Structure 1
Amino acid sequence: MSQIRKAPEGILGFPVAPFNGQGKLDEEALYQNIQFLLDEGLEAIFIACGSGEFHSLSGKEYEQMLEIAVSAAGGKVPVYTGVGGNLSTALEWTQISEDKGADGYLILPPYLIHGEQEGLYQYTKTIIESTDLNAIIYQRDNAVLTLEQIQRLTELEQLVGLKDGIGDMALNISLSYTLGNRLGWLNGMPMAEVTMPAYAPIGFTSYSSAISNYIPHISRMFYEALLNGNVQLVREIYQHVIMPINEIRKQRKGYAVSLIKAGMEIMGLHAKNTARPPIVPVEKEHCRQLENILESAMERFPKKTAAI
């Protein structure tokens, strides 16, 4: 377990929770998903988070996923878990994360309740202080902290990063320009490639990539073109891959998760187009649309042209 107080940088891998025909966690498929991300050079593994259907996992499944991730990563990249929901469960899962050898965790929103800023501060502080693991705040839904509260939390050395999932650019600029390199800045918007051209200039140079689960070389091409100022390549990938996939993602609630599994299935990876309710699988017509986009993307941007 690493004690380096620094958030992961680069393209961050968020494996899915693959389920078999009986609705049980498919451990072999999960291991293959993680190994694929590692082989493709992703800089960190975030297990049992949003893409991993954190909301639907039992405690046993959570432990299984974490054990598989730590084993697969083998210390080559940091492993972060998702913790959140009601405070008691969050604290149980931070302890599991520490016991199983994770490097840190991403703090997801508390269940249902909309708290005042002081309540959100206390919720987040309690989780961060519960272990010595690195912690990353996730700004989204009913858990959006102000600059003042985050400044208070930076007194805790375990806090290493902030992931934004709401898209309030005025707040993001205020945060990144005020706190500077005290925290790592992660873009956590749905299909983060869509918004990276706006985030990168203000210091959010890391992001969670859904498409890396099935076309990681294109995400890498996009990322490097963006940071290197290759505007033409960024525009081409945007036009032919990112925006068309994003248009499908917006068609149904829950596609931010299930569309990843559909993409993996289309690309011949070990995943089924299944998800636990309330998330629904991707509809057949949308699967056909995604298949056409991916076929065209592989022709335009073959893997051999990716900069690894």
Structure 2
Amino acid sequence: MTNRQAPTGISGFPVAPLNESGAIDKQALTANIEFLLEEGLESIFIACGAGEFHNLGREEFEEMVELAKSVVNGKVPLYTGVGGNLTEAIERAKISEKHGADGYLILPPYLIEGEQEGIYEYYKAIVTSTDLNAIVYQRANAIMKAETVERLTQFPQVVGLKDGVGNMELNIELTQKIGNRLGWLNGMPMAEVTMPAYVPLGYNCYSSAISNYIPHISRKFYNALLDGDQQTVNEIYEDVILPINAIRRKRKGYAVALIKAGMEIVGLPVTNTVRPPVVPVEKEHYEELKQVLKSALQKYPPNRKVTI
């Protein structure tokens, strides 16, 4: 029987490492996923936003899902990213089912802003195409009102909602009306920044970009937040989260590129290489990140040895 529960805790979003010829670097991707599992992340979301979902061909997508399934091997829930063009979204949903993923995160449709009925029909078509769990994503041109989300809860496949908008009035309405029928995931860019506002509403999961390179600090932050340890929360904000977030906001696309830069800095086999229209992290900003990480790792040392 399918486990109709959305992931909780901290979710890992592997990147799409590229080799010198611009193809997916399988060895680096394996290392990325293994690192996240070793660090205790509660779920893996492959080929999603951080994995440059928008720029993956069908074969690359399938390659990444198949590899992730092999590496994760049932240790934690495995979700994929589907969305964009409806036909392709359904195709990728079926690929995810074929390779035994637990579910998928449904990203916004391509460009078009639909009415609520149109957005509902878009999600419905994908959700009902397989029996896998589905997490709907409030983001960009696909923002649902509470009534639309309620309609989608009639499908057992819909297990969660991820918010990437930050409209707290809407989030309160959603969580009050729907309650624990859905799992609630914070998907704001650098979710640690906003998680203190989400926890009281019932959000008990977030996607962590920094977990790709400093997962132990994300864990320390989240534990402190849940334990009411405000001093530790404040210190990690000041030392790590807000400085990295300030760099992230300097260029469009850094939400993806900065992850790869951070991974390269801490010695993971991923280079600061992305596909257009995302641009690599500029040298000046790369050095800024390096200094932030150097200080952070001195104050909050990881279990493994890292030399910067």
**Structure 2 length normalisation: TM-score?**
0.98
User: How many Å separate the matches in 2 of 1:33 and 1:303?
Assistant: 16
What are the residue-to-residue correspondences of 1:255-266 with 2, within 5 Å?
255-266=254-265
User: How many Å separate the matches in 1 of 2:297 and 2:26?
Assistant: 29
Aligned equivalent of 1:22: 21
What are the residue-to-residue correspondences of 1:198-209 with 2, within 5 Å?
198-209=197-208
The Cα offsets for residues 87-123 of structure 1, whole Å up to 9 and x where unpaired, read as: 1000100000000110000000000111111000000
Residue identity opposite 1:280 in structure 2? V
Task: Please state how far the C-alpha of 1:300 moved relative to its aligned partner.
Answer: 1.1
Aligned equivalent of 1:47: 46
User: How many Å separate the matches in 1 of 2:81 and 2:211?
Assistant: 19
User: How many Å separate the matches in 2 of 1:204 and 1:285?
Assistant: 36
User: How many Å separate the matches in 2 of 1:131 and 1:205?
Assistant: 26
Task: Please state how far the C-alpha of 1:177 moved relative to its aligned partner.
Answer: 1.4
User: How many Å separate the matches in 1 of 2:260 and 2:175?
Assistant: 33
Residue identity opposite 1:113 in structure 2? I
What are the residue-to-residue correspondences of 1:276-287 with 2, within 5 Å?
276-287=275-286
Unaligned runs of 5+ in 1: none
Aligned equivalent of 2:117: 118
The Cα offsets for residues 190-219 of structure 1, whole Å up to 9 and x where unpaired, read as: 000000011111111210000000000000
Aligned equivalent of 1:191: 190
User: How many Å separate the matches in 2 of 1:189 and 1:23?
Assistant: 29
Q: Secondary structure at the match of 2:84?
A: coil
Aligned equivalent of 2:290: 291
Aligned equivalent of 1:38: 37
Unaligned runs of 5+ in 2: none
Task: Please state how far the C-alpha of 1:302 moved relative to its aligned partner.
Answer: 1.3
Q: How many pairs does the alignment contain?
A: 304
User: How many Å separate the matches in 1 of 2:229 and 2:131?
Assistant: 40
User: How many Å separate the matches in 2 of 1:14 and 1:274?
Assistant: 17
Aligned equivalent of 2:12: 13
Give identity over the alignment, percent.
65
Aligned equivalent of 1:233: 232
Is 1:163 paired with 2:157? no
Task: Please state how far the C-alpha of 1:234 moved relative to its aligned partner.
Answer: 0.3
Task: Please state how far the C-alpha of 1:222 moved relative to its aligned partner.
Answer: 0.3
User: How many Å separate the matches in 2 of 1:151 and 1:34?
Assistant: 34
User: How many Å separate the matches in 1 of 2:38 and 2:250?
Assistant: 31
Q: Secondary structure at the match of 2:108?
A: coil
Is 1:177 paired with 2:176? yes
What are the residue-to-residue correspondences of 1:41-120 with 2, within 5 Å?
41-120=40-119
Q: Secondary structure at the match of 1:101?
A: coil
Task: Please state how far the C-alpha of 1:21 moved relative to its aligned partner.
Answer: 1.1
User: How many Å separate the matches in 2 of 1:284 and 1:218?
Assistant: 24
Provide the aligned C-alpha RMSD in A. Answer: 0.9
User: How many Å separate the matches in 2 of 1:38 and 1:133?
Assistant: 22
Task: Please state how far the C-alpha of 1:304 moved relative to its aligned partner.
Answer: 4.8
Report which stretch shifted further, 272-281 or 198-207. Answer: 198-207
Q: Secondary structure at the match of 1:132?
A: coil
Residue identity opposite 2:117 in structure 1? E
Is 1:213 paired with 2:212? yes
Q: Secondary structure at the match of 1:303?
A: coil
Residue identity opposite 2:54 in structure 1? H
User: How many Å separate the matches in 2 of 1:228 and 1:178?
Assistant: 27
The Cα offsets for residues 22-81 of structure 1, whole Å up to 9 and x where unpaired, read as: 111000100110000000000000000000000000000000100111001010101100
